[in-house]
Amino acid sequence: MRSAGPGLYVHIPFCSKKCLYCGSVSFSGRQAEAGRYLRALEREASCRPAFKPATLYVGGGTPSELSCEQMGSLLASLSERFGSLEALREATLEGNPESLDAPKLDVLRRAGVRRLSIGLQTTEDRLLKAIGRRHSFADFERVYQEARGRSFSLSVDLMLGLPGQSLSGALASLKAVLRLDPGHLSLYCLHVEEGTPFAAEGLAVDEDLSREMLEASIELLAKAGYRHYEISNFAKPGRESLHNLNYWENGPYLGLGCAAAGCLGGVRYRNEGELHAYCAKIERGESAAVSSEALAGKEKTGEDLMLGLRLIEGIRLTRPMRRYFASELESLRRRGLIELERSPKTGLPLRARLSRRGLFFANEVFREFVPPYMESSHMRPKHQALPKGTQCGAAAAAPEACT
């Protein structure tokens, strides 16, 4: 399984209301600043060197909060700068049911966007209200059918482990979505992130129940013909997210917008994360990037391993991976967190993948491949933080953010 090639990510940080679990960079009640922000986005894009993407992902925040005019203007400017969106192998926009409608769907189709990622989270209206969502399941069904009628490729987000959610309720939500037959599903267990309202409330997630929900969901999705291809992602054959595969294969991508990240020429960077500061930097003709680093040696190899292990098929082990992380790989195998495929002739490990148990303890696995490196895994700090964007396992979100 291979990605389509280089990706273009565009961050739209506006939301009508911040969900109680959301730790992504997004701002509610500031849509009046969208015009200024889109002008800054266009200017940032014009200052970037020549770049030919194979995929586009417009994430957030909630990109569907843009008006028809704003959405059309944004996509037209991207097409002018990076080439026809219709010619891309994949062009995706995230949206929520309360802000997607027929006119916006028509704008997307005309601009060349053919794939939608719709944030549903649950079919239970009481739970939607409890987590701060502004839509109902009926709203979702309306938008879903309107999008399907326009031949969009559809992906749906669901969450597990929500406060007040039962095992039977979680499976009922999944079954209701499966009856709609989307090509792609993302399934996330609730993770309480610092700085969110749920964290302020001291909400505790029932990890055992979340795991039970996820295990049952994996079985149900397999029976329905969905391939589990990444920790949190499932697809019908040929419907995998090409854009996200490029992330997990550590390919190049250009990130535009407030808080967007990118990786070009082996250099990773992250843009200014405050809305006004981002716009001001661009308006002054400055770079929006506030940090950058070029990984090499053991750090680069560890990142390749960490990202590749997100894929259910795992990763082919290179000589540097075996040289730098032989003891860590063997330790993880003994602990039942990964499986190693070995050469029948030499006994050398050729491929590594998460075990079924490892799916639920992926953070524990990934910590082995990020600094500071220890001589043995039992010496590693118990609560060592992972780099931003690598929260994984059952609580993982797709790299691009959430809706």
What three-state secondary structure class fits 38? helix
Q: Is the Cβ–Cβ distance between 360 and 214 less than 8 Å?
A: yes
Q: What is the reported pTM?
A: 0.91
- So what's the pLDDT on residue 49? 80
Q: Is the Cβ–Cβ distance between 364 and 392 less than 8 Å?
A: no
pLDDT digits (tens, 9 = 90+) for 39-55: 999 999 999 888 999 99
- Give the H or E element holding residue 14: strand 14-15
pLDDT digits (tens, 9 = 90+) for 392-402: 333 333 334 33
Q: Is the Cβ–Cβ distance between 74 and 41 less than 8 Å?
A: yes
| Backbone torsions φ then ψ of 193, nearest 5 degrees | -95, 145
Nearest by Cα to 380 from 388, 390, 370, 389: 370
Cα Rg, the chain, nearest whole Å: 21
Rounded to whole angstroms, the Cα distance separating 224 from 123 reads 19
Rounded to whole angstroms, the Cα distance separating 358 from 340 reads 13
CATH of domain 7-248: 3.20.20.70
Rounded to whole angstroms, the Cα distance separating 268 from 307 reads 14
Beta strands (DSSP E) in 112-190 are 115-121, 153-160, 184-189
Ranges of residues in the chain whose predicted pLDDT is under 50: 375-403
Q: Is the Cβ–Cβ distance between 159 and 205 less than 8 Å?
A: no
Rounded to whole angstroms, the Cα distance separating 375 from 257 reads 40
What three-state secondary structure class fits 256? strand
- So what's the pLDDT on residue 372? 76
Rounded to whole angstroms, the Cα distance separating 213 from 209 reads 6
- So what's the pLDDT on residue 396? 32
CA angle centred on 401, ends 84 and 210, rounded to 5°: 135
Domain ranges of the chain: 7-248, 297-395
Residues 6+ apart with CB under 8 A from 376: 327, 331
What three-state secondary structure class fits 82? helix
Residues 6+ apart with CB under 8 A from 83: 52, 53
CATH of domain 297-395: 1.10.10
Q: What average pLDDT does the structure give for the chain?
A: 91
- So what's the pLDDT on residue 1? 63
- Prior bond to 149 cis, omega within 30? no
- So what's the pLDDT on residue 377? 39
Residues 6+ apart with CB under 8 A from 99: 16, 62, 64, 65
Cα atoms found within 13 Å of the Cα of residue 141, Cβ hemisphere only: 12
Q: Are 7-248 and 297-395 in the same CATH fold?
A: no
Concatenating the DSSP letter of every residue in 336-403 gives: TSEEEEE-TTT--EEEEEE-HHHHTTHHHHHGGGSSSP-SSGGGS-TTPPPPTT---GGG---TT---
Structure tokens, 51: 């770049």
